[in-house]
Structure 1
Amino acid sequence: MSDLHKPERIKGRGSRVNPAGRFEVTTHEAVDDGWYQDGEPVAPPRTTVIEERARHIVTQNASPDIPFDASINPYRGCEHGCAYCYARPSHAYLNLSPGLDFETRLFAKTNAAAVLRQDLARRGYRCSAINIGANTDCYQPIEKRYRVTRQVLEVLSACHHPCTIITKNSLIERDIDLLADMAARRLVHVFVSVTSLDNRLSSRLEPRASAPHRRLQTIAALSAAGIPTSVNVAPIIPALTDIWIEAIVERAAAAGARSAGYTVLRLPWELKQLWEDWLAIHYPERKQHVLNVLREIRGGELNEPRFGLRMRGEGPYADLIRNRLTLACKKYGIRRRAEVDLDTSRFVPPRPASPQGELFG
């Protein structure tokens, strides 16, 4: 899409621009060729999905900020289009833009379940809870068609392997049958992210994710089915969504959430430019205030990459956010941090595939 005629906003999309990624060696400059007519609508960008064959599906990490050692991401890119998504810069590794490309040019790891069986069957594999959806949402809209997350869960369930799930999409309710069975064996804990309780704000901030009230209904549905569920008040955006902290904790607790966690907005790499553009379009009167508070809690910069600080920030404003969430959890009777009690002792590695097939069930 030419920057010369970029729309003020694109309905259903979190970004309206497609800046080059940080690894690009060439740049593009838009030139008006005279064919565009003033007032002519620009065709909305369509979602395209490339089916991808993964070689490995379980990713290990050693970050002290993340409470899990292994993760699975069934998809690359995310159709939710969250304007604040810290995963956007990862699209630069594909020579694609962290902007519109991230939410319109998606990759589905359609062989994820088969590769997972291979990974779990490797000699010396040690079972620890695997997080699903740490980078991009495993229940984003294309999961309804591709069912990669469902297939991964079926493998984990068959092997008695524990997992945690992070999502902001009510599509997870489709899998309550499978998740309830896993929960009965202490094999799953779900985290539902809720950013605000303002539907209008949410439709601009995270345009293709479930509305806030639907996420609260999802917490209730999962909890009623006996599935341990927590709420992530994440990300908290200073001067924009932080007014909802106590209300989210109250509503989530009433819905059955067991605990509440939080992160503060992070702006790594290209996300800084994208976020400033989003603020300029949707909340121009708040733009400088939001950015100034972010700099205040990030040591004068818009992003703080150091472990221990990148998720929370530091200083009086960051302390205030932490204290508000802590007091809200105490007031509404839920834990400040999740108690993830998952069982790794039952794990049974999948049997390697045999060219003769299975002679005995």
Structure 2
Amino acid sequence: MKQEIKGQGAVTNVHNHFEKNRYEKSIYDDDLEEELVKTQVQTIFPKTIVNKVKSPDLAMAYSMNPYQGCEHGCAYCYARPTHEYWGYSAGVDFERMILAKKNAPELLEQFFKKKGYKPEPIMLSGNTDCYQPVERKLKITRGLLQVCLDYRHPVSILTKNALVTRDIDILAQLAEKNLVTVSFSIPTINEELRRKLEPRTSSAKTKLQALDTISKEGIPTHVMIAPMIPGLNTMEILPITEAIAEKGALGFGYTLVRLNDTVEPVFIDWLEEHYPDRKEKVLNQIASLHGGKLGEKSVAKRKVGEGNMAEMIHNTFKIARQKYFKGKKIQPLATHLFDGTKGEQLRLF
């Protein structure tokens, strides 16, 4: 089994709770596991690409995701349940059935041209990674960045992949006008854990190198040290913050792990596969963060958590901020440069 799921986070395809019927593997399905590990990309053409973010605990006003599903295969990913709306499983399907929004750059232009639109920074990602492996070929994210540059619109990026360095030419031009920030997701610098926890992301070393490269280009960088998973990566808070500070990050954020909806069975199966000896300890400590539950949907509680474990995590990050990030700050992105007609004008030259 371990050989068959190499490069995946999920161990199985958990049942889609929107589906009346469920598929059970039989002893005759010899080719099923082989099929599950192959990534399939389906082109879709949505009507919109920009989403209004309504959660009061999130700093972004808008987000956009060029892909649905994510090849990175992070076992803890909160976006997994969204794949069920498309008729797929939050398990292996989430990692291997990728929906690519090929018309995303055109949709973004249409959004910018809306009468009376007032620009606010847009988060590129937020649900699934805009620089997951398929982006190397499709370049939808690069197209979105070019539209932002043409219209002088602020954009922030969140990714786990060093592929973002490919687009330094556009990012540097955006940074000159204070129109971009790049945030890396680095929940661990323990490479053995990284290979199991988020198997198809860039290695920890490569992420840090990419962070250094982009920072040296004058592009403001930030790191999300998330999620914090007791018993797996909480002991890395100070080593990670020290490492990212040395590579030029101007700030960091973090979240506590939450196993909402179908993320729970995916993560439990993952623990059983990779860390059976500490499975119960990790689950008990996660539950201690959320009043005895593995998940937490309350906007007021999901970032703060509760109990001694949550307090320890918060206090350690306070120490890290004081020790490695004192005086560092990312400036708010510019919105006054936006011109809804500029993109069309540039295309005439």
> Given the two structures, how large is their TM-score scaled by the length of structure 2?
0.95
Aligned counterpart, 1:279: 271
Cα 1:43–1:108 change in 2 (3 A) is: closer
Aligned counterpart, 1:3: none
Aligned counterpart, 1:155: 147
Contact 1:144 1:171 in 2 (8 A): yes
Match for residue 111 of structure 1 among 89, 103, 120: 103
Match for residue 47 of structure 2 among 42, 46, 55: 55
**1:340: Cα distance to partner?**
4.2
Q: Distance in 1 between matches of 2:125 and 2:4?
A: 28
Aligned counterpart, 1:95: 87
> Given the two structures, how large is their TM-score scaled by the length of structure 1?
0.92
Aligned counterpart, 2:294: 302
When Rg is computed on C-alpha atoms for both structures, the one with the higher figure is 1
Match for residue 24 of structure 1 among 14, 19, 23: 19
Aligned counterpart, 2:202: 210
Aligned-partner residue type, residue 27 of structure 2: D
Moved over 4 A (4+): 6-9, 40-44, 351-354
**1:352: Cα distance to partner?**
9.2
Aligned-partner residue type, residue 288 of structure 1: E
Q: Distance in 2 between matches of 1:134 and 1:42?
A: 30
Match for residue 342 of structure 1 among 313, 333, 342: 333
Q: Distance in 1 between matches of 2:74 and 2:119?
A: 32
* Higher mean C-alpha deviation, range 198-207 or range 325-334: 325-334
Residues 1:184 and 2:176 are matched in the alignment: yes
Contact 1:49 1:108 in 2 (8 A): yes
**1:30: Cα distance to partner?**
3.1
Q: Distance in 2 between matches of 1:243 and 1:344?
A: 39
Contact 1:267 1:303 in 2 (8 A): yes
**1:36: Cα distance to partner?**
5.3
Contact 2:11 2:273 in 1 (8 A): no
Contact 1:121 1:351 in 2 (8 A): no
Aligned-partner residue type, residue 318 of structure 1: A
Match for residue 309 of structure 2 among 297, 309, 317: 317
Q: Secondary structure of the equivalent of 1:96? A: coil
Q: Distance in 2 between matches of 1:335 and 1:305?
A: 33
1:178-232 per-position Cα deviation (integer Å, ceiling 9, x unaligned) = 1011011000011111111111111111010001111111111111000000111
Q: Secondary structure of the equivalent of 1:179? A: helix
Q: Distance in 2 between matches of 1:244 and 1:9?
A: 30
Q: Distance in 2 between matches of 1:283 and 1:8?
A: 16
**5 Å matches for 1:155-304?**
155-304=147-296
Q: Secondary structure of the equivalent of 2:218? A: coil
Aligned-partner residue type, residue 236 of structure 1: M
Q: Secondary structure of the equivalent of 2:141? A: helix
1:212-266 per-position Cα deviation (integer Å, ceiling 9, x unaligned) = 1111111111110000001111111111111111000000000000011101112
Q: Percent identity?
A: 39
Contact 1:170 1:215 in 2 (8 A): yes
1:110-160 per-position Cα deviation (integer Å, ceiling 9, x unaligned) = 110011101110112110000001000000000000000000000001101
Match for residue 133 of structure 2 among 123, 138, 141: 141
Give the total of aligned pairs: 348
Cα 1:181–1:41 change in 2 (3 A) is: closer
Q: Distance in 2 between matches of 1:352 and 1:327?
A: 45
Q: Distance in 2 between matches of 1:142 and 1:281?
A: 27
Q: Where does the alignment leave 5 or more consecutive residues of structure 1 unmatched?
A: 1-5
Contact 2:211 2:248 in 1 (8 A): yes
Cα 1:177–1:278 change in 2 (3 A) is: same
Contact 1:259 1:335 in 2 (8 A): no
**1:57: Cα distance to partner?**
0.7
Q: Distance in 2 between matches of 1:244 and 1:196?
A: 7
**1:65: Cα distance to partner?**
1.6
Q: Distance in 1 between matches of 2:111 and 2:268?
A: 41
**1:32: Cα distance to partner?**
2.5
Aligned counterpart, 2:9: 14
Q: Where does the alignment leave 5 or more consecutive residues of structure 2 unmatched?
A: none
Contact 2:10 2:75 in 1 (8 A): yes
Cα 1:185–1:41 change in 2 (3 A) is: closer
**1:351: Cα distance to partner?**
6.7
1:42-80 per-position Cα deviation (integer Å, ceiling 9, x unaligned) = 566200101111211110011012111100101000000
Contact 2:215 2:221 in 1 (8 A): yes
Q: Secondary structure of the equivalent of 1:172? A: helix
Aligned-partner residue type, residue 21 of structure 2: T
**1:333: Cα distance to partner?**
3.0
**1:16: Cα distance to partner?**
1.9
